[in-house]
Amino acid sequence: MHSAIYFTLFLFIFPLFYLLTRRNSKRLPPGSLGLPIVGQSLSMLHAMRTNTSEKWLQDRIRKYGPISKLSLFGIPTVFLHGQAANKFIYTCDGNTLANQQPHSIRKICGERNIMELSGDDHKRVRGALVSFLKPEVLKQYVGKMDEEIRMHLEMHWHGKQKVMVMPLMKTLTFNIICSLIFGIERGAKRDELVVLFQHLIGGVLSVPINLPFTQFNRSLKASAKIKTILLESIGEKRKALEQHGASPHQDLITCLLSIHNEDNSVALADEEIVDNALTIMVAGYDTSSILITFYEQEEIAKSKSAGELLTWDDLAKMKYTWRVATETLREGPKDIEYGGYLIPKGWQVVWAACMTHMDESIFPDPSKFDPTRFEKKAPAPPFSFVAFGGGPRMCPGNEFARIETLATMHYLVTQFKWKLCCVDNSFSRDPLPVFNHGLPIQIETKKSN
Ligand code: HEM
């Protein structure tokens, strides 16, 4: 059973925010709350399943304007749209709008995961994660990522005539994160983790009913086992660090273990390390990109000898590739007053952040796939390109995702020719986009390789 209730999280309607402010005398936004409890939930779910959610939102905006009220899953809701709405939400302080994650995520990723934290706690944990995810540090992991990608292609692509892109990209992302985040090398432990992680991810956006046969139950059990494995691994890594058998820069875990406060106490408790390593795994897993052919990749390949690893400088040259990836992301997701309307205390606010990606005044001819739009000297106005969010909770993994995407694209386009081999390459939202047939392609290894 899929996530009926919590679909809003990752769509292009980002996290739900509960309002904590006082009532005032302004009027409510236009729109109807629909039938009790059901409200507009079923029609929105149907739009998601049939991949017409964008149209569903556009119709709503056309009918009521950029601010309207509705009811989703029994909760009165205000829907906001536009660049100003993005800015309002991303810059609102936590006392006005509180970030509310689905119950399933809290249970599976743990109470101390970054998305659950606010104020100083959020700053402290985010600071620790960023100390690993910042470009200066990630630089040194390009080679490690490169090795994972080559090994993946060797095992799953070379010698094959047909592959399923989507499940393979997930396997690859898992392996990259496993190596760089958990520092768990290929072998029995990683194989065990792959299976557990598949179970875990299945329940992240499921209905949180913990009965023996539910997806949520299977996910919780997998989460508990992964946490035990990680705790053991933390113990081993701590020992290795003390005995100088490991380096603080080995992986995310050794990095987090090595951060100390001024009084030399550890900055993050073991439980916090486990919850956040798991969260990063979840946050970085399903967000990989679609890949296309580029001239610049061929040029970089020519400049390298056979088997030579990619470097940070190579990635810096892949400007066009990153514009393509950026374009792919654009196309993809107290009472307070906003725009002259009242948003009462306790209502949730949902917003279609990525709808600004389709705003003609910001991105001319928005339906056209045109990576050159990101070449422009003047960047897109603030809060208009928001694939990675914005403000204090903006995705700290964006540089990681950039490196992963560029390095993968490099090998795919320089080593293979391919064509689509399924008539139906449609996708639906579950709530993330999922190719209905896994995106099968026919591949041929390029002669020069
Ligand atoms: C194309 C890939 C990715 C996209 C589009 C993406 C998108 C996002 C977005 C929109 C948010 C903000 C959610 C909010 O407003 O609350 C976010 C948060 C986050 N992302 Fe990513 N992400 C990607 C990859 C990654 C990767 C690879 C990692 C880790 C290595 C990561 C780690 C995180 C974390 C830890 C947060 C929570 C930040 C906080 O609460 O302060 N993401 N991501």
Three-state SS string over the chain comes to CCCCCCHHHCCCCCCEEEECCCCCCCCCCCCCCCCCCCECHHHHHHHHHCCCHHHHHHHHHHHHCCEEEEEECCEEEEEECCHHHHHHHHHCCCCCEEEECCHHHHHHHCCCCHHHCCHHHHHHHHHHHHHHHCHHHHHHHHHHHHHHHHHHHHHHCCCCCEEEHHHHHHHHHHHHHHHHHHCCCCCHHHHHHHHHHHHHHHCCCCCCCCCCCCHHHHHHHHHHHHHHHHHHHHHHHHHHHHCCCCCCCCCHHHHHHCCECCCCCECCCHHHHHHHHHHHHHHHHCCCCCCCCCHHHHHHHHCCCCCCCCCHHHHHHCHHHHHHHHHHHHHCCCCEEECCEEECCCCEEEECHHHHHHCCCCCCCCCCCCHHHHHCCCCCCCCCCCCCCCHHHCCCCHHHHHHHHHHHHHHHHHHEEEEECCCCCCEEECCCEEECCCCEEEEEECCCC
Residue 432: exposure state from Cβ atoms within 10 A (0-12, 13-18, ≥19) = middle
The pLDDT of residue 16 is 43
Cα dihedral 78, 80, 85, 90 sign: positive
Any domain includes 2: no
Any domain includes 358: yes
**Contact call for residues 416 and 158 (beta carbons, < 8 A):** no
ipTM of the complex: 0.97
How far is ligand 1, taken at its centre, from the CA of residue 389, in Å? 8
The domain in which residue 365 lies consists of 7-445
Any domain includes 342: yes
Which residue's CA lies nearest to atom 11 of ligand 1?
395
How far is ligand 1, taken at its centre, from the CA of residue 383, in Å? 16
| Mutation choice for ligand 1 from 395, 400, 432, CB with most ligand atoms inside 8 A | 395
Any domain includes 216: yes
Which residue's CA lies nearest to atom 6 of ligand 1?
388
Digitized pLDDT (tens) for each residue of the chain, 449 residues in all:
333 333 333 344 444 444 433 344 468 999 999 887 778 888 887 887 777 888 888 899 999 999 999 987 777 889 988 888 888 888 877 667 776 666 778 888 998 999 888 888 889 999 999 999 999 989 989 999 999 999 999 999 999 999 888 888 888 988 998 998 888 888 898 899 989 998 998 887 677 788 898 888 999 999 999 999 999 999 999 999 999 899 988 899 999 999 988 888 888 999 999 999 999 988 877 664 333 333 555 556 666 666 666 666 766 666 666 666 666 666 554 677 888 888 888 777 887 767 888 888 888 998 887 888 888 777 788 888 888 888 888 999 999 988 988 889 888 888 888 777 777 767 666 656 667 787 788 888 987 64
Any domain includes 347: yes
Question: Residues forming the annotated binding site?
Answer: 395
- Pairing of β 440-445 and β 416-420: antiparallel
389 in contact with ligand 1, CB cutoff 6 A: yes
How far is ligand 1, taken at its centre, from the CA of residue 38, in Å? 30
284 in contact with ligand 1, CB cutoff 6 A: yes
End-to-end alpha carbon distance in the chain: 44
**Contact call for residues 375 and 323 (beta carbons, < 8 A):** yes
**CATH label of the domain that carries residue 112:** 1.10.630.10
Which residue's CA lies nearest to atom 41 of ligand 1?
393
Atom of ligand 1 nearest to the CA of 325: 1
Any domain includes 422: yes
How far is ligand 1, taken at its centre, from the CA of residue 444, in Å? 34
409 in contact with ligand 1, CB cutoff 6 A: no
126 in contact with ligand 1, CB cutoff 6 A: yes
Q: How many domains does the chain have?
A: 1
How far is ligand 1, taken at its centre, from the CA of residue 305, in Å? 35
How far is ligand 1, taken at its centre, from the CA of residue 276, in Å? 12
Any domain includes 89: yes
Atom of ligand 1 nearest to the CA of 393: 41
| Structural tokens at position 145 | 């990522």
Question: Residues forming the annotated binding site for heme?
Answer: 395
402 in contact with ligand 1, CB cutoff 6 A: no
Which residue's CA lies nearest to atom 13 of ligand 1?
389
Cα dihedral 399, 402, 405, 411 sign: negative
Atom of ligand 1 nearest to the CA of 129: 35
The pLDDT of residue 321 is 62
How far is ligand 1, taken at its centre, from the CA of residue 388, in Å? 6
> Which amino acid does the sequence have at 149?
I
Any domain includes 1: no
